[in-house]
Amino acid sequence: MQNLQVTQEAPPTRTARILDMLREDIVAGRLAPGERLRFDSLREEYEIGISPLREALMHLASQGLVVAEQRKGYRVSPVSSADLTEIARLRSEFDALALRESIAHGDELWEGRVLAAFHALTKRSKLGPDGEVDPTWEQYHIRFHEQLVSECKLPKLLEFRSILELQARRYRRIAVHYLTSPRDDLGEHRDIQDAALARNGDLAAERIRNHYMRTVEIILSNEGELVIE
């Protein structure tokens, strides 16, 4: 009788753990844009050593979520209308290209994954009882967009795209507070899905551009300028 070997997933490292916690606190706004990240306070709050904390902050800096200041440590990256617009424009172009590539290479299994991801998205409301973005909806939302481009064969493009998506999450959380009328998120996602599954690259690219720029319009239509200190 053969001995069965069970491979257990390794527990996350201290750096990975603190990285996940800091990233979520920045995206959720618990660590405010522009806030100074003091090592002593962070070590105490997150119960972490200096080395894994420094590694995590360096990684977050590479993702654009924190800013390293010479001889001053780190701050949470600020938010602004200019930054929001640049992220949305770049995401629009990167995702449009990645989606075209995915449409060109995707097979029936890809179509099934897109349909399944959209179906999951329909099962949750974007906003929770507290008026904030529902965390489960957000995970379904991320998965849906990832499945759309999952057959893109340009790994560097997908890497750049993932960084921009991460930076955009903070603005997605902010945007819900600027809504003056309900947004048809589900309809926007359905339109993108339908164009992709119809293998219409031009229409899918147009719709995903419009989808991302809609967030910019919502935030800037009220104040015209976004500055959060």
Q: What is the pLDDT of residue 142?
A: 96
Which pLDDT band holds residue 83 (cuts at 50, 70, 90)?
very high
- What is the rounded distance in angstroms from the CA atom of residue 226 to the CA atom of residue 3? 61
- What is the rounded distance in angstroms from the CA atom of residue 165 to the CA atom of residue 132? 18
Which pLDDT band holds residue 223 (cuts at 50, 70, 90)?
low
Q: Which helix (H) or strand (E) holds 32?
A: none
- What is the rounded distance in angstroms from the CA atom of residue 43 to the CA atom of residue 16? 15
User: 65-74, 158-167, 173-182: which range is least confident on average?
Assistant: 173-182
Residue 154 has pLDDT above 80, yes or no: yes
Which pLDDT band holds residue 31 (cuts at 50, 70, 90)?
very high
Is 211 in contact with 89 (CB distance < 8 Å)?
Answer: no
Closest to 66 (Cα-Cα) out of 39, 30, 26, 38: 26
**Is residue 173 classed exposed, middle or buried when 0-12, 13-18 and 19+ CB atoms within 10 A define those classes?**
middle
Q: Residue 12: helix, strand or coil by DSSP?
A: coil
Which pLDDT band holds residue 72 (cuts at 50, 70, 90)?
confident
Q: How is residue 35 written in tokens? A: 């806030």
Q: Name the average pLDDT for the chain.
A: 89
Q: Residue 2: helix, strand or coil by DSSP?
A: coil
- What is the rounded distance in angstroms from the CA atom of residue 128 to the CA atom of residue 132? 6
Domains annotated for the chain, with CATH where assigned, are 14-77 (1.10.10.10), 80-228 (1.20.120.530)
Any residues with CB less than 8 A from the CB of 8 and at least 6 apart, and which? Answer: none
DSSP 8-state class, residue 126:
S
